[in-house]
Structures are given as structure tokens and as C-alpha cells.
């Protein structure tokens, strides 16, 4: 049973641990460096004195976020439970009237908010810069879409990381599993899908289904459909999706499917945590 006073207490303790480990600072620096690098690149490639590369900045930043966010979320969560089990934190906490569900909710909420807060700040800065340098309506539309899609992808990655942490006792093994999940999400499934398309003449619907089953791919479709409605960067498959589904449905898929994956992974984490030992 979840008791919100217990959740708040656990969240405060975990937030203090996150601040001591400087995870919030690290995440903020990573997001800031990404934005600065792409802004400088767009400024250098501008052909006129005024800034004209905002669309390019947003598109490049979107691609980078889809690679970086799952890695940050998995590395921040895949060792939470097993580390607390090894150093005796769980034994100490559960000597008090604290339920396992409340503990897991508190830790999950803290890690998610620590990753989401600097991202929201970065997107807000990019929206203000885009409104000042280009069209305010387009910048605001991108900001809302990007925040929704990235939040859903973060939740999917946090849920997967918590599942690995709760189901794996060894910290080193949990870290390896987290890296494997990241590789499957951002790289290996892309190569496997391309290989399947080269080997067999797949129906476009099958290609879309296989791609959308990966939450990173689903988030990519939802994010890019707002910046590039024709999805030219995805080739013929992107053109097929743009014409058959449209930006609105792609955005819905990019948000709904990662949220569903995150809920399923977190439910598995809770079940594993309840069945496992606290020490």
C-alpha cells in the first residue's frame, strides 16, 4: 500500500543522496552542452548575419536528446535498489513502518524529477530563443511537443532502469544490463530493422510496427513529425508514415507507447521488489 507521507520522506532522503552525488549538476551540464554545441554549429553555418538555423538546431538537438536521455535515465536508476540493499539502507529503512511500494515510488519520483527538471529548463530556454529569433508560435509548438515526448521517453527509461535494479542483486551486472538496454534501444534495433528490410521485402505496416515497438523509435517519430512533417530524414518509411498517419497520430504514438512501456516496466520492478529480500 502506498502512503504519501512515506513517499515524501523517501523522496527527501533520495534527493539528498542525489545532491551529494551531483547527479542534478551532471544532467544539467550535459543538457547545456548539447544546446550550446548545436547553437554554435548553426551560427557557424548561417549564410547571413542574422540567425537562420533555429530549425536545424532543434532538429539536431532532438536527435541528440533521443540518444542521451535513455542513457542518463538508465545509469541513474539501474543501481538504486541493489546499492541500497548492499549498503544496508533498505534494512535500516524497513525497520521503520515503511512499505516497499512507498519506497519504490519515492525513489522513482526523485530520479525522474532530477532528470526532467533541467531538461524542462533547457527546452524553455530554447523556446524563448526560438521565439526571439524566429516564429514564436513554431517555437512554442516545438517546446510543448518536445517536453511531452522527452518526458514519456524518460519515464520509459526510468521504469526499465528500476526494473533492472529491482530484479538484479549485483550492481556491476545491473549496470551492464542497463547499457545493453540502451544499446538495444538506440542502435542495435535500428541495425536489425535495416537488416530485415534488406533481407526480406517487408510490408510498410510491418516496418512501422517493428519500429514503433521500440520506445526510442516511437519517441523519434513523435518528435521529428513536429519539426519535419514529411519525415524526409527517415527515408521512404518516413514518407509513408507521414502520408498515412500524419503528425498528430505520430505524436500520439510517440507519447503513448513510451508511457505504456514505462508503466509495464515499473510494475515489473514493484513485483520483483516485493518478492525479493531487503538484505
Instruction: Place 264 in a pLDDT band, splitting at 50, 70 and 90.
Output: very high
Residues in the chain: 279
**C-alpha cell read off for 257:** 507507447
pLDDT in tens, 64-114: 788 888 988 998 899 888 888 888 888 888 888 888 888 999 999 999 998
Number of other CB atoms surrounding residue 168 within 10 Å: 21
pLDDT at 130: 67
Predicted confidence band of residue 44 (pLDDT cuts 50, 70, 90)? low
pLDDT mean across residues, the chain = 78
Q: Which of 3-12, 29-38, 87-96, 151-160 has the lowest mean pLDDT?
A: 29-38
| Percentage with pLDDT > 90 across the chain | 14
pLDDT digits (tens, 9 = 90+) for 218-252: 888 777 776 665 565 555 556 666 666 777 777 88
Q: Which of 46-55, 60-69, 104-113, 190-199 has the lowest mean pLDDT?
A: 46-55
Sequential DSSP letters for 149-198: HHHHHHHHHHHHHHHHHHH---HHHHHHHHHHHHHIIIIIHHHHHHHHHH
pLDDT at 42: 56
Side-chain-side CA neighbours of residue 78 (13 Å):
24
Domain ranges of the chain: 4-275
pTM value is 0.85
Amino acid at each position: 500500500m502506498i502512503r504519501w507521507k512515506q513517499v515524501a520522506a523517501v523522496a527527501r532522503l533520495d534527493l539528498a543522496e542525489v545532491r551529494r552525488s551531483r547527479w542534478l549538476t551532471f544532467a544539467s551540464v550535459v543538457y547545456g552542452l548539447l544546446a550550446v554545441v548545436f547553437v554554435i554549429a548553426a551560427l557557424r553555418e548561417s549564410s547571413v548575419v542574422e540567425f537562420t538555423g533555429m530549425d536545424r538546431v532543434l532538429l539536431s538537438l532532438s536527435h541528440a536528446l533521443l540518444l542521451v536521455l535513455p542513457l542518463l535515465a538508465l545509469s541513474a536508476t539501474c543501481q538504486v535498489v541493489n546499492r541500497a540493499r548492499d549498503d544496508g539502507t533498505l534494512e535500516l529503512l524497513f525497520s521503520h513502518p515503511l512499505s516497499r511500494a512507498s519506497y519504490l515510488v519515492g525513489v522513482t519520483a526523485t530520479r525522474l524529477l532530477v532528470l526532467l527538471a533541467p531538461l524542462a529548463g533547457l527546452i524553455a530556454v530554447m523556446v524563448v530563443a526560438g521565439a526571439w529569433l524566429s516564429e514564436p508560435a513554431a517555437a512554442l509548438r516545438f517546446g510543448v511537443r518536445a517536453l511531452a515526448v522527452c518526458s514519456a521517453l524518460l519515464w520509459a527509461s526510468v521504469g526499465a532502469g528500476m526494473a533492472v535494479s529491482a530484479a538484479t542483486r549485483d550492481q556491476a551486472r545491473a549496470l551492464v544490463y542497463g547499457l545493453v538496454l540502451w544499446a538495444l534501444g538506440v542502435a542495435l534495433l535500428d541495425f536489425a530493422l535495416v537488416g530485415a528490410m534488406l533481407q526480406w521485402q517487408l510490408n510498410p505496416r510491418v516496418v512501422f510496427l517493428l519500429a514503433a515497438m521500440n520506445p526510442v523509435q516511437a519517441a523519434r517519430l513523435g518528435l521529428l513529425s513536429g519539426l519535419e512533417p514529411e519525415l524526409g530524414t527517415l527515408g521512404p518509411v518516413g514518407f509513408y508514415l507521414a502520408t498515412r498517419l500524419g503528425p498528430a497520430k505520430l505524436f500520439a504514438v510517440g507519447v503513448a507507447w513510451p508511457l505504456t512501456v514505462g508503466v509495464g516496466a515499473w510494475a515489473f520492478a514493484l513485483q520483483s521488489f516485493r518478492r525479493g529480500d531487503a538484505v
